[in-house]
Amino acid sequence: MGLNRKTEKILFTRAREGDEDSYEILFNHYYHRLCTYAAIFVKYPDVAEEVVQETFIRIWEKRGMISIRTTFKAYLYRSVHNSCINYLKGKKFLSEKDEAFRNEVLKQSEVNIRHMDTGIIDKIVSEEFDKEFRKALKSLPAQCLEVFMMCRDEQLSYSETAEKMGISVNTVKTQMKRALSKLNDALQKNFKG
């Protein structure tokens, strides 16, 4: 389910040297769980995907200047977290409900950061999130989980997953959407406030 620290370090070292394949492995490994994590803060899955993609692009562009004191995984979670906070700070919401949600997330984030060392936050956030993510995965219905794992872990396209499972592409899309929604709901309960 996870890359060990040594493999992750090797991949990031190669990526820093410009190896796109190594960076792609890291991207594919962390992308979906980071999108789910980001959705806890920004609320909307499409915005979460955009935030995560932009974070990965920014890391790739600055890869030679990045100094990681913990692990690449912890660095990613911290970067995505900061990107979400920056997004929320710069966003003007139309609905009062969304505005209240944003204000609560920003307030909670400031409290957490003020009272904890950054390295500790990174470690707690990434480890706790991974634990909750695995728990949430286990709660998915069988077909939903199978689709999610094929698309995420095996990195199959929706059409490849549909063919392999003997179901329609629309069913794969529906199951993937359901999986992301259920994961997001489960994780929001554990990481809010």
Q: What is the pLDDT of residues 99-151, one digit of tens each?
A: 666 566 555 555 444 433 444 445 445 566 677 777 888 888 899 889 888 87
Q: What is the pLDDT of residues 4-51, one digit of tens each?
A: 778 888 998 899 999 999 999 999 888 988 888 888 777 777 888 999
193 falls in which pLDDT band (50, 70, 90)? very low
Q: Given this model, what pLDDT does residue 113 score? A: 43
- Domain 5-138, CATH: 1.10.1740.10
* One-letter-per-residue 3-state SS of the chain: CCCCHHHHHHHHHHHHCCCHHHHHHHHHHHHHHHHHHHHHHHCCHHHHHHHHHHHHHHHHHCHHHCCCCCCHHHHHHHHHHHHHHHHHHHCCCCCHHHHHHHHHHHHHHHHHHHHCCHHHHHHHHHHHHHHHHHHHHHCCCHHHHHHHHHHHCCCCCHHHHHHHHCCCHHHHHHHHHHHHHHHHHHHHHHHCC
Average pLDDT across the chain, whole number: 77
Residues of the chain with CATH 1.10.10.10: 140-193
* Architecture of the domain delimited by 140-193: Orthogonal Bundle (1.10)
Residues of the chain with CATH 1.10.1740.10: 5-138
Question: Could you tell me which residue, 4 or 73, shows the higher pLDDT?
Answer: 73
Asked if the model's pLDDT at residue 56 lies above 90, the reply is yes
What global pTM score does this model have?
A: 0.57
